[in-house]
Amino acid sequence: MTDTTKPTGTKGISRRDLLKTGAAAAGLAAGSGAITGFPTIWAQNIKDVTLRQFGTGVSNINAIADKCKEDLGFTLQMTALDSDAVAQRAVTQPDSFDIADIEYWICKKVFPAGVMQPLDVSKMKYFDKLVPLFVTGKLTPESTIAQGTAPHTVGFVTAADSVEFAKEPTNWLTMIPTIYNADTLGIRPDLVGRPIKNWKDILDPAFKGKTSILNIPSIGIMDAAMIMESAGQIKYADKGNMTKEEIDKTIDFLIETKKAGQFRAFWKSFDESVNLMASGEVVIQSMWSPAVAAVRSKGIPCVYQPLEEGYRAWGGGLGIAKHLSGLELEAAYEYINWYMSGWVGAYLNRQGYYSACLDTAKQFMEPYEWAFWMEGKPAEKDIMSPEGKVMEKAGSVRDGGSFEARMGAVACWNSVMDEDRYMVRRWNEFIAA
């Protein structure tokens, strides 16, 4: 841990200096600027506020809490849990958090339980700067909406006290979108020995006993669906909402594949996937982008391979607990507006995710960084992670290319199905088989 915090400090100062000038020039300084806009009494009391945020590890980063303290003055306590635990805690202990940093498919499960309150769009400073993916579901006006629990379908509720998802954008957001990405298969280019182009390549007999998929049912079933469709086994009406027959067919096929010895292991946590790949136990598997970066940082080649059928995407956002009111609620809105104002967005972009407010994030990134991460151009110089480690050498290109190429090729979103319970039962059979 200390290894990573130190460079942040040193690197942070230079960036901060840069920000100061940038802010002065552009009059940006959203956080500090916003505080003065509040009644004075709040500006003083807000320092005593502590907000408890919990969520999946990806964006529960202490650097964000530190920066929040610095810019806004109040304390943010971060707790990172796995996605199942997050859903559980949100529902069963709704008083244990103030801000939930969760994925949209979790939101679909959690929000109807009435443990969160909708966000007032009119209080969102950067709502109109959001990537349209989260409002209309379309990246560009021409693009088609991907299958699964697309964020915009659970992004709004019908009224301030409603738990019913709205079909059209309303004034009430379930969560403010913050982070998203397009996932695909990770490969070891040195060990696969041939070009990988399709999801079905994971079924290649050449990779027998050297593949893995993830054992988180709601996500694993989507990877399985991509593989099934690619292999021509089935054509789903909606991968993200399968019928019982489709679930049966998918699971039966998976069981058959498992019994034939195609899989080496099933992973459940991020580090397991890193270890499987780095140790050479598997050569092609389901993976998340930071896991690919982690394998590469060990000096082992690993590619986040773009595939013809497209990506499986996921998105997350920030929601507010039902019990929050008064000063704390104002602080939460303050925090959310600060989150969207660019610094965090740039931080997330530099980790290989995407910020939901790209315009503001751009102002906090160097042009060469923006060109590498967002435009898919070769890196002009070494690309650093936010912690100050070299992630990519100069000259390299991001796997999958530009933002439009990656997010424009989303085939489905992580989802919760109507037949969720049946799917989970069958999934357990697959694991037990």
Partner 1 sequence: MTLTARLAPYLQAAPLALILGVFLLVPLLTILMVSFWDYDSIRIYPDFVTFNYEETLFSWVTWKTYLNTLKFAVIVWAITLFVGFWVAYFLAFHIRTTAMQLVLFLVCTVPFLTSNIIRMISWIPFLGRNGLLNSALVEAGIVAEPLEFLLFSEFAVVLAMVHLYTLFMVTPIFNTLMRIDRALIEAARDAGASGFQILTNVILPLAKPGIAIGSIFVVTLVMGDFITVRFMSGGQSASIGLMMANQMSLLQYPAAAANAVVLLAVVLIIVAGILRIVDIRKEL
Burial of 245 (0-12, 13-18, 19+ CB in 10 A): exposed
The H or E element spanning position 178 is strand 176-183
Residue 42: what are its φ and ψ, rounded to 5°?
Answer: -70, -40
> Does residue 91 bind partner 1 (CB under 8 A)?
yes
Q: Between 180 and 263, name the residue whose CB sits nearer to partner 1.
A: 263
Phi-psi region of 299 (alpha: psi -120 to 50; beta: other; left: phi over 0): left
Candidate residues 32, 45, 75, 88; the one interacting with partner 1 per rule CB under 8 A: 88
Q: Between 131 and 222, name the residue whose CB sits nearer to partner 1.
A: 222
Burial of 41 (0-12, 13-18, 19+ CB in 10 A): exposed
Candidate residues 177, 217, 306, 316; the one interacting with partner 1 per rule CB under 8 A: 217
> Does residue 93 bind partner 1 (CB under 8 A)?
no
Q: Between 80 and 91, name the residue whose CB sits nearer to partner 1.
A: 91
Q: Between 209 and 378, name the residue whose CB sits nearer to partner 1.
A: 209
Record the tokens describing residue 430, joined without a space: 């697959």
> Does residue 236 bind partner 1 (CB under 8 A)?
no
> Does residue 421 bind partner 1 (CB under 8 A)?
yes
Candidate residues 57, 112, 376, 408; the one interacting with partner 1 per rule CB under 8 A: 112
Concatenating the DSSP letter of every residue in 231-287 gives TTS---S-TTS--HHHHHHHHHHHHHHHHTT-EEEEE-SHHHHHHHHHTTS-SEEE-
Q: Between 175 and 182, name the residue whose CB sits nearer to partner 1.
A: 175
**Side-chain-facing half-sphere of 336: CA atoms under 13 Å:** 31
Amino acid at 168: E
CB of 280 to partner 1, least distance (A): 5
* Stretch 266-285: interaction string toward partner 1, x if CB under 8 A: xxx------xx--xxx----
* Stretch 364-403: interaction string toward partner 1, x if CB under 8 A: ----------------------------------------
CB of 165 to partner 1, least distance (A): 14
> Does residue 87 bind partner 1 (CB under 8 A)?
yes
CB of 347 to partner 1, least distance (A): 29
Spatial CA neighbour of 213 closest among 241, 245, 184, 236: 184
CB of 372 to partner 1, least distance (A): 32
Q: How many residues are recorded in the chain?
A: 433
What whole-number distance in Å separates Cα of residue 20 and Cα of residue 36? 17
- Only segment of 210-218, 300-308, 360-368, 406-414 that touches partner 1 (CB under 8 A): 210-218
DSSP β-bridge partners for residue 180: 315, 354
Candidate residues 33, 209, 301, 395; the one interacting with partner 1 per rule CB under 8 A: 209
Q: Between 184 and 212, name the residue whose CB sits nearer to partner 1.
A: 212
Q: Which residues are within 8 A (CB) of 70 and not within 5 positions of it... i.e. 6 or more apart?
A: none
Interface residues with partner 1 (CB under 8 A) are 82, 84-85, 87-88, 91-92, 109-110, 112-113, 209, 212, 215, 217, 258, 263-268, 275-276, 279-281, 416, 420-421, 424-425, 428-429, 431-433
